[in-house]
Structures are given as C-alpha cells and as structure tokens.
Structure 1
Amino acid sequence: MTKEAGRGHALLVGAGILCSRLFGLVRQRVFSHYFGLSDAADIFSAALRVPNFLQNLFGEGVLSASFIPVYARLLAQHKQEEADRLAGAIFAILALIISVIVAVGVLATPYLLWLIAPGYTGEKRELTILIVRILFPGTGILVWSAWCLGILNSHHKFFLSYAAPVIWNVSMIATMLLFRHLDANRLIVYLAWGTVLGCLLQFLVQLGPVLKLVPNLRLRLDTKSLHVKQVGGSFTNVVIGRGVVQISAFVDQAIATLLGSGAIAGMTTASSINLLPVSLFGMAISASELPTLSRMAGDHVDEEVAAKLSTRLNNGLERIAFFIVPSAMAFFALGNVIVAALYQSGAFTAKDSYYVWAILAGSGVGLLASTFGRLYSSTYYAMRDTRTPLRFALVRLAFTAVLGLASALIMPKALGISMQWGAVGLTASAGVAGWIEFHLLRRGMNKKLGATGIPLSLMAKLWTAAGVAACAAGVVEHYLPAAGPIVTAVFVLATYGVIYFAVTFMLRIRTCTDVVGKLLRRVGLR
C-alpha cells in the first residue's frame, strides 16, 4: 500500500465523517434551538451517554482494534471463506452478548443512574430513567453497525461506513421538527424514539453492501476457531481499555451533574464541536491506517518492518498535527465566534455561547494529545499489542478522576465563582490526563520501533502559523461592523484559514505544500 493510497483512504474516511459531523452539527443546532441549556437538555444529554457506553464499549473502536487486524490479514492472504466464517461468528457472538446486556441494562437503569447522575433527583431523575430505557436497544443496534464498519473498512470501502450516521442524525432532526409543538419534556421522549429509529436505519443502510462483500456469511457461534480466539483475545483487552476510557467519561459526567443546571448540556454542546477535528483528522487517519498497518506488521515485526511502521506512523502524525494545531488554537482564541455561529438561536442565548466557549477552550488543552493517541493506539493494535494501551488507559482514568474532582468541585469554591464553571475545569483536566497517556504511549512505542514523533521545529512552526492567523482573525472580528453570528464567523474564520495556509506554505510545511499542489493540479494550474 503506497503513501498516496493511504492518503486517499484517509480522504474517504474524512469525507464520510465530514458528512456525518455536519449533519451532527445541524442536529445539535436544532436541539439547542428548542432546548438551550435547560433541564430537558441536561436530561437527554445525560441519558444518551448511558447506553452509548454500550456502543463505545463493544462498537467501532473495539471491533476495529480486535477484528480488523485478523480479518484484514485473512483477506490479504486470499482466504475469503475463512474471513467470511470469522465475520459470521463475530456477528453471532456480538448479537448474543449485546442482547443480554441490553436486557439487563433496561432493568438496571435506576441503579445505573445513581452512579452516573447522582445530582439528578425527583422528576428530572425519573424522566432520565425513561429516556435511558428507550435508548438502550437502539444503541445496541449501533454495535452491529460497528461490525459493518469493520467489514467495509477491511475491504477499503471507507466512505459509507463513516457517512452512515447521517441517517441517524436526520431521524433525530425530523423528529424534533415534526413534534416541535410539544413541551420540552414530552419532546425529548419522542426524540428518544426517533433516535432508536435512526440507529436501525444506520445499520440497515450498511447491511446490503456488507452482504455482497461477505458472500458466504453464516451466523454461527463458533468459539473454537483459531481466528475467533485471536479476535477474542484482543477483544477482551480492548474492551477493558475502552471501558476504562468510558468510565473516565462517566466520572466527568457524574461530577458535572453536581454543578447545576446546564453543565451537562454545555459539555455536550462543546463536545459536538470538539469531536469535529478529532473525527475528521485523528479518527480518519487512524481508521484508514489500521488495515494497512496490520498488513505491514504481519505475524512478526523485525527491524525492516519496524522501520516501515515507524515511517508510516510519523507521516500520519505530521498530517494530524497540521490540522489539529490550528483547530486547538481556534478553540482558544475564536471559540466564541464558532459557538455563536453554530448554535446561537432560539433558547440558546449569547450568554450560553460564552459559557460553551469556555468549556470548548478547556477541551482544546488535550485535543492534540487525544488525536495523536488514537494513531499510536492503532499502531499497537496492528502489532497485536492490546495490553499496553490498556495499562496506559488505566493511568489516564486515575488522573482524570483526581484532577477532575479537584478542578470541578474545589477550584470554583476557591476562586469564589459559580459551580457551573467547574465544567471548564473538567474538560481541561481531562486534557492533561490525555497528555500523560499520550506520553506513555509514545515512550512505549519508541521501545518497539525506535524514535517516533514530530520534530519540535515542525511543531513550533505550526503553532506560530496558527498564532499569527488567530491574531489576524481577531483584528477582523474587532473591526468588523456589527453583523449576525454566521456572517461574523464567515469573515473571521475565512481569514484565519487563509492566513494559516499562507504562513505554513511560506514555511514549506510538507502537508501544506502537498495539499496546495493537489489543488493546483485539480484546477489545471500545475
């Protein structure tokens, strides 16, 4: 697999994710318009996180790390029938596990809520329990969507699997528009059912193409197969690792429920923006590289293979940094412009925009670390090492809990500010924990492959370019005549993007010159 092919695959993943995230932003804008940062918004945001634990625990990241390396290796060896049997066995096993967990989860929801939303009481708690119970089966279906993604990605069919969530977002948007005349508490109940419908449609839209790629699919609980055991061995470690990450997120959520009305909704709104660059660049590159890295790693990593993996990893890190550094700078310096343009409408006020900006700036602290960490983890998984990322995820959990409690519950009191602002400390402290995890991942990988990472000189150039661009955009924002949030964002962010690309091009940053070169060739100027 050539570098150009790898970039092409990353582009397809990025295009699919972009479609999905754009519709996700539209969904969040409609949601914010009707709910703002109200109690109803808190309820739905918290409820959606509970069953999403199931999706994240058994879904895309876990299956990608455990299933794709084995399945893709069988395809590379032209063992189609064995690959098909593996796919069928994994689906059957997942169906059994998920069915049991969903049933138990629906029954145990009241007890789960004491753990993840201790600040919710009375009617707010009861309504959250109802929404969680409605959502549980739908998010179980999303695990099957992740199985489809594993099949499609292994066959280098990247676009559909990452664009499929568009239909999930459309279902939610349509539900809110159709039942907008209802009061907020009744509307979120209908929205929960619309979410479940979207989950089913997302799975079905991928199923047809998958069945064509797996012509000999048989759903059998074959736990004795060597390949199934290989997936299972990795699966267990990755599930625990993902579980640790999800527990970390739930620790933050549990703390946020103690910070007053609007904290959970504000963090969810900020997350919808924060996840855009993470998904477009971190996830896109990591997901597209995993099948290729798995083929390169093979069954044994010698010095020659290690050198190839190191080169591939470093190239991916450079591409990630080129886009994530300006994203983080934009969150710090221009977050108010971004949030207002996306969500300031209806019940979502200018005051809400500044609050979400502060949370978004906090999330920018760990943005680069989390995206780098995804690619490092994918490299570990390609080498069939799932234990190392697990150990470091446990370290991250410990730091997240300790720093989160201190930042959210102690710092606001010490500074004499509203407890609601503890949400900013939560996102920033999670970022610090992310940097610790990334450092450990890189140090461990360096022992396996030799020196990896990005030169400090390149990082200095990227941050300088982003800083210059932010200053120019700030000047435009200051002198721009009064206009609506969207018009302001168009001029300010356009200035930011153009200046960043211009400075990085003058500094001869390789990723920038490659992008500009491709654009010039497309329009026939080179």
Structure 2
Amino acid sequence: MRSGLIVSAMTMLSRVMGLVRDVVVATFLGAGNGADAFFVAFKIPNFLRRLFAEGAFNQAFVPVLSEYSTQRTQQEIRELLNAVAGSLTAVLALITAVAMVAAPWLVWVFAPGFGRDPEKLALTADMLQLTFPYLLLISLTAFSGSVLNTWNRFAVPAFTPVLLNLSLIGSALLLMPLMKEPAMALAWGVLIAGAAQLVFQVPFLLRLGLMPTPWPNFAHEGVKRILKLMVPALFGVSVSQINLLLDTVLASLLAAGSVSWLYYSDRLVELPLGVFGVAIGTVILPALSRRHAEQSADHFAAMLDWAIRTVLLLGLPAALALAILAEPLLITLFHYGAMTDHDIAMAAMSLRAYSFGLVAFMLIKVLAPGFFARQDTATPVKVGIVAMVANMVLNLMLIWSLAHAGLALATALSAFLNAGLLGYLLHKQKVLVFQPGWGRYGVQLLGGCVLMSALLGWLSPAWNEWLDWGLWQRIRWISLLVVLGAGIYFAWLVALGMRWRHFRIAG
C-alpha cells in the first residue's frame, strides 16, 4: 500500500501536469487541423510505446528480472541487463529509422481520413518524423524504470513522465511563437522530452550498480525467454490501447475535430486510470512475481483480491464523477482560446462513454499481472483477441448512430468483456480467490457512490452557466464539488466501519 501511494502521488503530479499541458494545447490549437495532426503524430509512437515499453516488454521483462534477482548472482543479473538493453536498442533503432522514412504511409494507415486533406496529411507526416524517435528513447526509459521498480525504487519511474509534460508546456509557450506552423513546436517538445526522461534515470541506476552496458545478444537465455513472453503479451496487455488506436483510425473519417474530442475526453479518464489503476498494477507485478517464484499461492491470491478491492474503492466514484461533471470539467480545463462551445459538447459525449468503462480499464491493469507474474502470456492473448474483435464489431455498430461517442462506448464495452474474462479465468484456475467480507464491502461502496452522485447532481449548476463564468469562478466551483463529493463518499465509508488497516498488505 505504501508503494502504491508513492506511485499514485508521483503519477498524480504527472497527470495534473498533463492536464496543464492539455489546457495549453487546447488554448493555442483548440480542436482544429493542427491539433488533430499533432495528436495523431504523437499517438502513433505513443501507442507503440505502450505496446513495447509499458505493455508487452514490461510484463515480460519484470517477471524474468525478478526471478534473476532472487535466484541468480549479481554478475548474471548484469549480463541479462546488458543483453536486454542492447537487443532492445537494436530492434527499436531499426523500427524508428524505417518509420521515419515511411512517415506519410504510416499516417495514411493510422488516420486514413487525413488523405482527403493533403496539407493535413503532409503536416502530420512532418511531425511524425520528429515524434517517432520518442519510441526508442521512452522504451529505454521504461527499461530503466522496470529495473528500478524491481528493486522497489518506485518514485523515480513514476515521476519521470512529468518531464514530458514540462517539455510540451515549455515548447508551446516558447517555441510556438517562433514557428510558421505552431503545432510543430509540440513535435519538437516530444523529442526533447524523450531524451530528458532517459537521462533522468541514469544516476539512479548508477547508484544501484545496475547501469547496463548495452550489447545486443539475442542468444542470451533471458532475452529468449523475454521475447517468447513478449509476442503474445503484445495482444494480452495492450488490447485497450489497440482499441483506442482503432478509434483514432475511424475518427479520422468523421467530422473535423473528432480526433481531438476523443483525445481530450480520454485524457480526463487517464487521470484516475493512471493514478489508481496503473499505479496499483505497477507495484503488484514485481510483488506477484516474487510470490510466484517463492511458490506462495495464498499470498498471491490475497494480493490480487486486495488489488481488485482497491481499484473498486477508487475507480467507481471516479467514473461516476466524470460522467456527472463531464461538461463542467471540460469547460474548466479546456474552454479557452480556440476551444469552442461545440467542442465541449462533443467531448462531453465521448467522456461519458469512456467513463462508463473506467472501472474495466483499471481492472485489466491489475488482473493481467496475475497471468504475467506466472509467465503465462497465452491466456491473456486469447482474451485480448476476443475483446479486440468485439471492439471492432461494436465500433461498426455504434459509429453510425453515435459517431465519435460510439467509438468511445465500444471501447468501454470491450474493456468490460476483457476484464470479465480475465477475472473469470483467474478464478477458475484458483489463482484469484476472493477473501471474506465482499458482501459488506459492496454495501459500503454502493452507498457511498449513491450519496456522492446525489450530492454532485444536486449542487452542480447547469453546464451552460459555466460557460459564462471566468477562470477563477470555474476553479472555485469545481474544487468545491470535488472536495464535497470525495468528503461525503469517504465519510460514509468511515461511518460504516472501513479503516486504513483493512488495506494493509505485505508486498
């Protein structure tokens, strides 16, 4: 729990800075062609980052590294780190070089609708040539973060994303006035951020004596195991990201601004997802891997149960609050400069659809490690394929009537299918064993959510009133609603006997 709080605090700082970044981008670019072009140019390497770095690579690398850390010598650990770092660098350097040459074709594949506007397509391709090297830099950063997490140094990797947001904010404020095309400044900011995040990790690896000397060695036993685990994990852990990418592809075919509306609404959902879901998933993966290596099945099951309870404790009220306060949140954060009333209304539609799936997104983050910690990547890939096919079908069913909001709703529904199947299979394999007290726990959460929702719905003014207010009046009101909503929710839980000690568990 302590490790989770550390990661949550650092992630909260990162996400808040990310919202500041998005406020700056919305103010300068709104939801026009420049914003659409940047979001696609950033989404492509960012999507691959989540596959290679935070997704498949992390889930395959951490269990193997945890096993080495408990069963192998220091020399063998260093040899593994050297081989993995070198092999990762070689593969991603090649991919990056090819992608930079093929940038126009990549844009056409990922955003085919941009082909109707040659200028928009060309701008996106130019930006992609600057943003794609971020994949190499951030993947090596994720490698370093995985090493630090395995040695229980969670704060540094969790803080590192703050540098991306600071770089983009600085680029928007300092470089935009100097550029003929303002959006290009953000592409430079992505490249600068990748280098800054990697360099930031180095002193902490040196302090642990774990700074690798990269040298490709695909024949190394550990590298071969990681590659074997990575291939199916590409689908198993990253289905939600693939689904979001499919949303972008289809959104590019819809009305101008659709890509941006989905982006702004997704960013708000990413705040609780990163602060709670990703944070809990980050700290339990190495802990579960150690429990599996030690053959401690009871502790493994108890830790999974703890993770699910914690996700529901925080995810349910967050999802309800996002849905109830969709327009007020978007207005307070983004309704400045180039962002129009119409943009707010459209983004609120997709925000409500995404918020419906927030709990499922978070559950995937904590259930998938239950498989990967046991080096089982075959089961999640089967589940992932089912969920991805379901998402494609739902996209085609819902896009006609709900447009961009239909894409968001399809992603949410497929996430529930994904999480449900993962939980069912873990329970069937007797890996997930629900601990006593779930009936009382459910009553506590349900009552708190009902009270919080009623209070927010009663106190929040109509959203068109928010449009007439200035910045500080909006901030005062949204802060009041957040504090009162959280206050009544947690007061109810305490009144019904929930205490901090109920969430203590040894890692």
1:362 corresponding residue in structure 2: 353
Q: 2:212 aligns with which of 192, 197, 217?
A: 217
What amino acid is aligned across from residue 504 of structure 1 in structure 2? L
Q: 1:69 and 1:81, CA in 2 relative to 1: closer, same or farther beyond 3 A? A: same
Deviation at 1:93, TM superposition (A): 0.3
Deviation at 1:247, TM superposition (A): 3.4
Deviation at 1:450, TM superposition (A): 5.4
Q: 2:379 aligns with which of 383, 388, 392?
A: 388
Deviation at 1:84, TM superposition (A): 1.4
Q: 1:323 and 1:242, CA in 2 relative to 1: closer, same or farther beyond 3 A? A: closer
Q: 1:134 aligns with which of 126, 130, 133?
A: 130
- Aligned counterparts, 1:75-90, within 5 A: 75-77=69-71, 79-90=73-84
1:494 corresponding residue in structure 2: 483
- The answer to whether the Cα contact below 8 Å between 1:477 and 1:492 also exists between their aligned partners in 2 is yes
2:401 corresponding residue in structure 1: 411
Post-superposition Cα deviations, 1:223-275, rounded to whole Å, max 9, x if no partner, equal: 33322222222122213435655432221111101111111111111111101
- The answer to whether the Cα contact below 8 Å between 1:334 and 1:470 also exists between their aligned partners in 2 is no
1:466 corresponding residue in structure 2: 449
Post-superposition Cα deviations, 1:17-66, rounded to whole Å, max 9, x if no partner, equal: 11211111111110011111112111111111112232122112223211
Deviation at 1:216, TM superposition (A): 7.0
- The answer to whether the Cα contact below 8 Å between 1:335 and 1:361 also exists between their aligned partners in 2 is yes
- The answer to whether the Cα contact below 8 Å between 2:144 and 2:205 also exists between their aligned partners in 1 is yes
Q: 1:61 aligns with which of 55, 62, 68?
A: 55
Post-superposition Cα deviations, 1:311-331, rounded to whole Å, max 9, x if no partner, equal: 110011111111100001011
Post-superposition Cα deviations, 1:160-211, rounded to whole Å, max 9, x if no partner, equal: 111111111111111111134367x711112211210111001100122113
2:119 corresponding residue in structure 1: 123
Farther-moved stretch of structure 1 (167-176 vs 228-237): 228-237
- The answer to whether the Cα contact below 8 Å between 2:235 and 2:385 also exists between their aligned partners in 1 is no
Q: 1:310 and 1:356, CA in 2 relative to 1: closer, same or farther beyond 3 A? A: same
Post-superposition Cα deviations, 1:457-495, rounded to whole Å, max 9, x if no partner, equal: 533532331221121123222399985321210122211
2:175 corresponding residue in structure 1: 179
Determine if the alignment matches structure 1 residue 143 to structure 2 residue 139. Answer: yes
What amino acid is aligned across from residue 244 of structure 2 in structure 1? A
Deviation at 1:346, TM superposition (A): 1.7
- The answer to whether the Cα contact below 8 Å between 2:306 and 2:503 also exists between their aligned partners in 1 is no
> How many Å separate the matches in 2 of 1:365 and 1:215?
42
> How many Å separate the matches in 1 of 2:149 and 2:372?
15
Deviation at 1:113, TM superposition (A): 2.0
> How many Å separate the matches in 1 of 2:317 and 2:70?
37
> How many Å separate the matches in 2 of 1:173 and 1:296?
41
Give the CA RMSD over aligned residues. Answer: 2.2
Farther-moved stretch of structure 1 (478-487 vs 395-404): 478-487
> How many Å separate the matches in 2 of 1:281 and 1:47?
27
1:156 corresponding residue in structure 2: 152
> How many Å separate the matches in 1 of 2:459 and 2:492?
17
> How many Å separate the matches in 2 of 1:279 and 1:331?
15
> How many Å separate the matches in 1 of 2:300 and 2:160?
30
> How many Å separate the matches in 1 of 2:168 and 2:273?
23
Post-superposition Cα deviations, 1:317-366, rounded to whole Å, max 9, x if no partner, equal: 11111110000101111122222222222222344333222211100121
Q: 1:207 aligns with which of 198, 202, 205?
A: 202
- The answer to whether the Cα contact below 8 Å between 1:307 and 1:449 also exists between their aligned partners in 2 is no
Q: 2:428 aligns with which of 427, 447, 467?
A: 447
Q: Structure 1: which 5+ runs fail to align?
A: 1-6, 413-421, 516-526
> How many Å separate the matches in 1 of 2:336 and 2:50?
31
> How many Å separate the matches in 2 of 1:128 and 1:28?
19
Determine if the alignment matches structure 1 residue 190 to structure 2 residue 185. Answer: yes
- The answer to whether the Cα contact below 8 Å between 2:350 and 2:405 also exists between their aligned partners in 1 is yes
- Aligned counterparts, 1:214-363, within 5 A: 214-215=209-210, 217-242=212-237, 244-298=239-293, 301=295, 305-363=296-354
- The answer to whether the Cα contact below 8 Å between 1:306 and 1:449 also exists between their aligned partners in 2 is no
> How many Å separate the matches in 2 of 1:463 and 1:425?
28
> How many Å separate the matches in 2 of 1:80 and 1:492?
52
Deviation at 1:432, TM superposition (A): 0.5
Q: 1:456 and 1:44, CA in 2 relative to 1: closer, same or farther beyond 3 A? A: farther
2:415 corresponding residue in structure 1: 434
> How many Å separate the matches in 1 of 2:306 and 2:241?
29
> How many Å separate the matches in 2 of 1:513 and 1:472?
27
> How many Å separate the matches in 1 of 2:216 and 2:202?
20
2:368 corresponding residue in structure 1: 377
- The answer to whether the Cα contact below 8 Å between 2:131 and 2:188 also exists between their aligned partners in 1 is yes
Determine if the alignment matches structure 1 residue 166 to structure 2 residue 147. Answer: no
- The answer to whether the Cα contact below 8 Å between 1:81 and 1:216 also exists between their aligned partners in 2 is no
Q: Give the secondary-structure state (helix, strand or coil) at the position aligned to 1:181.
A: helix
Farther-moved stretch of structure 1 (319-328 vs 53-62): 53-62
- The answer to whether the Cα contact below 8 Å between 1:331 and 1:357 also exists between their aligned partners in 2 is no
Farther-moved stretch of structure 1 (8-17 vs 240-249): 240-249
> How many Å separate the matches in 2 of 1:432 and 1:439?
11
- The answer to whether the Cα contact below 8 Å between 1:63 and 1:235 also exists between their aligned partners in 2 is yes
> How many Å separate the matches in 2 of 1:247 and 1:14?
25
Using the aligned pairs only, state the percent identity.
26
- The answer to whether the Cα contact below 8 Å between 1:340 and 1:486 also exists between their aligned partners in 2 is no
Give the TM-score, by structure 1 length.
0.89
Determine if the alignment matches structure 1 residue 503 to structure 2 residue 498. Answer: no
> How many Å separate the matches in 2 of 1:398 and 1:508?
43
What amino acid is aligned across from residue 351 of structure 2 in structure 1? L
- The answer to whether the Cα contact below 8 Å between 1:10 and 1:288 also exists between their aligned partners in 2 is yes
Post-superposition Cα deviations, 1:410-461, rounded to whole Å, max 9, x if no partner, equal: 214xxxxxxxxx1111111111101111111011111222554583653353
Give the TM-score, by structure 2 length.
0.92
Determine if the alignment matches structure 1 residue 51 to structure 2 residue 22. Answer: no
- The answer to whether the Cα contact below 8 Å between 1:473 and 1:492 also exists between their aligned partners in 2 is yes
Farther-moved stretch of structure 1 (478-487 vs 330-339): 478-487
Q: 1:164 and 1:216, CA in 2 relative to 1: closer, same or farther beyond 3 A? A: closer
Q: 1:511 and 1:38, CA in 2 relative to 1: closer, same or farther beyond 3 A? A: farther
> How many Å separate the matches in 1 of 2:183 and 2:118?
17
- The answer to whether the Cα contact below 8 Å between 1:505 and 1:512 also exists between their aligned partners in 2 is no
> How many Å separate the matches in 1 of 2:318 and 2:497?
20
> How many Å separate the matches in 2 of 1:131 and 1:169?
18
- The answer to whether the Cα contact below 8 Å between 1:505 and 1:513 also exists between their aligned partners in 2 is no
Deviation at 1:67, TM superposition (A): 0.9
- The answer to whether the Cα contact below 8 Å between 1:135 and 1:196 also exists between their aligned partners in 2 is yes
